[in-house]
Structure 1
Amino acid sequence: MVTYVSALFYGVGGIVVAGVALLVAFQEKLVYVPVLPGLSKSYPITPSRLNLDYEDVWLQSSDGVRLHAWFIKMFPHCRGPTILFFQENAGNIAHRLEMVRIMIQKLKCNVFMLSYRGYGASDGSPSQHGLTKDAQAALDHLSQRTDIDTSRIVVFGRSLGGAVGALLTKNNPDKVSALILENTFTSILDMAGVLLPFLKWFIGGSGTKSLKLLNFVVRSPWKTIDAIAEVKQPVLFLSGLQDEMVPPFHMKMLYAKAAARNSQCTFVEFPNGMHMDTWLSGGEVYWKTNMQFLEKYAPEKGRTIREGK
């Protein structure tokens, strides 16, 4: 006769096994969401709808995947900073156009928006290995352009885009002037327990009490906490304290890790900022923060902003 304890043990064990099986089979569906529910993979609008001057750019990653991007300029011969924009995990670059439109106006910059593989008009299927190559292809393209100031390339990433951007910035100290992270996670290993709470006992990053027995099954760990520790360029951390997806303490941990080795780190909190709307709820303070960072760390040639000015 099966005892109550045995039944409980087998029941819990079955739930864990089922959960792990789901994680192994569908983890990319949790990390990468190229198509929002009820919508198509195609772009709902293009920059022209918002009266933005843009160029369709087609790239090829180092493994041969064809990628699409939009290069949007404030005006045709704008030599201001160029922001390499990496989006969150859900939807495509068209869903960020309103934010980018305001970014261009407020920061007097160009913006290069990359569609990750499997997103928008880009070919392929998303993975950490693939997105790392995609980001490098985008940066290499910008670095070879003659119509921008290549000494003023700044990487901006929100959430998943922050993980992509941190790794790219670490790998390219001579091509990226500065990095801006917004509402980014420490790692997908740490986020596993947020998305599926029972997994926090089996999957986790170096700063957690997890047994880490199942870390090996995670195919896209995105260890931002490790990448940011090696970034030598200036970093601006923008944290929405009402973030409902990534716990705000993740951003504090990233800042602490970076600031331990990098004196050019700035951390700014936005009390009403949620995961996707910190740029909106932050109002003028948000844009002023970004502008001051760019003026200091990606200034015009021959013009520098001294410490404290």
Structure 2
Amino acid sequence: MELLVVVAAVVGLLAVVHLCLPRLAPFFVFYPEPLEPHETHPRYWGFVDASEVWIPTEDGPRLHAWWFPAGRDEPGRGAAIYFHGNAGHLGDRGTVAAALSNLNLDVLLPDYRGYGASEGKPSEEGLYADARAAYRWLVDEKGVGPGRLILFGNSLGSAVAAELAIGRPVAGVVLLGPFTDIPSIARHRLSWLPEWYLDWPRPRFDTVDRASRIAAPTLVGAGADDRVIPPGQSREVFEALGGPGRWLEIPGAGHNDIFSQQALWQTLHRFTREVLPDGPPANG
């Protein structure tokens, strides 16, 4: 009898949790950290050539972002937007943006709503709106030609970059450590639960579905030892691409150290030269 009571209690608890999953899921997806007022300028983090910008969104919140000019003397070959992962703030990603600028790219590094000093609260649709705002700012305010623009997305940012690439002209897309969708990640980490239990409508960040609708040349990369996003999921995103694609799997690399891999930067150097051939500068 006692065993039946325990089983009934566990089943009841699981049923309640399943009903609450759509409300609970965002707490497992978004891990924003704030920036103190004295921390918002890139100079605080040692990036003396970068500047601070604020970007309006279509639904109200202002995004805090940093702008890194191309790190060479000649005019920039093109421009890039770097969409970071699901935790922290842009202060944690300035080093990556500065390294991307050394590829002779002007780089926009925005913080999602609710992250760092950006206003608002994160959500799937909100992050997509943030991406559209960053794109508009580059094209309309900075005068960057869409044909000179590359979208970079890492981890959660890959889903954001993939969404933005649909129906908007860009020169190329780079997706690093992408996943197929959020429920699949949940099922990977909680494999002892039935698959249907961990399926929910929002947030999904369905990258594999969006990949099939990307027309621009796309580089998909993953660390062979990634323990956060299974490399097999990243490979699924690559195989789903609707346009020309390139696959890069880096032996010995994990999820968080992929940007320290020489093989990645060699490939990025080649890829940016292929999709941004010699021509006018970014705002030409």
1:85-124 alignment runs, 5 A limit: 85-105=82-102, 107-124=103-120
The 10-residue stretch of structure 1 (56-65 or 67-76) with the greater mean CA deviation from structure 2:
67-76
1:149-188 alignment runs, 5 A limit: 150-172=146-168, 174=169, 176-188=170-182
Q: Closer, same or farther in 2 for the Cα pair 1:199/1:57, shift >3 Å?
A: farther
- CA-based RMSD: 2.4
The 10-residue stretch of structure 1 (232-241 or 16-25) with the greater mean CA deviation from structure 2:
16-25
Q: 1:33 aligns with which of 31, 34, 56?
A: 31
Assess if the C-alpha contact under 8 Å between 1:155 and 1:179 holds in 2.
yes
Tell me the TM-score normalised to structure 2 length.
0.89
Assess if the C-alpha contact under 8 Å between 1:104 and 1:111 holds in 2.
yes
The one-letter amino acid paired with 1:295 is R
2:269 counterpart residue number:
291
1:274 counterpart residue number:
254
The one-letter amino acid paired with 1:60 is P
Equivalent position SS for 2:8: helix
1:180-219 alignment runs, 5 A limit: 180-203=174-197, 215=199, 217-219=200-202
Q: Closer, same or farther in 2 for the Cα pair 1:163/1:111, shift >3 Å?
A: same
Q: Does 1:133 align with 2:124?
A: no
Assess if the C-alpha contact under 8 Å between 1:192 and 1:200 holds in 2.
no
Task: Give, in whole Å, the separation in 1 of the partners of 2:134 and 2:144.
Answer: 14
The 10-residue stretch of structure 1 (52-61 or 182-191) with the greater mean CA deviation from structure 2:
52-61
Equivalent position SS for 1:197: coil
Q: Closer, same or farther in 2 for the Cα pair 1:47/1:296, shift >3 Å?
A: same
Q: 1:228 aligns with which of 188, 211, 235?
A: 211
State the percentage of identical aligned residues. Answer: 27
Task: Give, in whole Å, the separation in 2 of the partners of 1:247 and 1:150.
Answer: 32
1:208 counterpart residue number:
none
Q: Deviations over 1:37-87 (max 9, x none)?
A: xxx544857432434422221111111111111111135973222110000
1:265 counterpart residue number:
245
Assess if the C-alpha contact under 8 Å between 2:177 and 2:229 holds in 1.
yes
Q: Deviations over 1:244-290 (max 9, x none)?
A: 111110011111111xx32x20001101111111111x22x211100
Assess if the C-alpha contact under 8 Å between 1:53 and 1:74 holds in 2.
no
Q: Closer, same or farther in 2 for the Cα pair 1:121/1:77, shift >3 Å?
A: farther
Tell me the TM-score normalised to structure 1 length.
0.82
1:210 counterpart residue number:
none
1:302 offset after TM fit, Å?
Answer: 7.3
Q: Closer, same or farther in 2 for the Cα pair 1:256/1:150, shift >3 Å?
A: closer
Task: Give, in whole Å, the separation in 1 of the partners of 2:107 and 2:224.
Answer: 26
1:54 counterpart residue number:
50
The one-letter amino acid paired with 1:275 is H
Q: Which has the higher contact order (CA 8 A, sep 6+)?
A: 2
2:239 counterpart residue number:
256
2:63 counterpart residue number:
67
Q: Closer, same or farther in 2 for the Cα pair 1:147/1:137, shift >3 Å?
A: closer
The one-letter amino acid paired with 1:267 is W
Assess if the C-alpha contact under 8 Å between 2:41 and 2:52 holds in 1.
no
1:102 offset after TM fit, Å?
Answer: 2.3
Equivalent position SS for 2:226: coil
Give 5+ residue unaligned stretches, structure 1.
204-213, 304-309
Assess if the C-alpha contact under 8 Å between 1:59 and 1:137 holds in 2.
yes
Assess if the C-alpha contact under 8 Å between 1:87 and 1:160 holds in 2.
yes
Task: Give, in whole Å, the separation in 1 of the partners of 2:118 and 2:160.
Answer: 17
Task: Give, in whole Å, the separation in 1 of the partners of 2:143 and 2:75.
Answer: 8
Task: Give, in whole Å, the separation in 1 of the partners of 2:87 and 2:98.
Answer: 19
Task: Give, in whole Å, the separation in 2 of the partners of 1:118 and 1:171.
Answer: 26
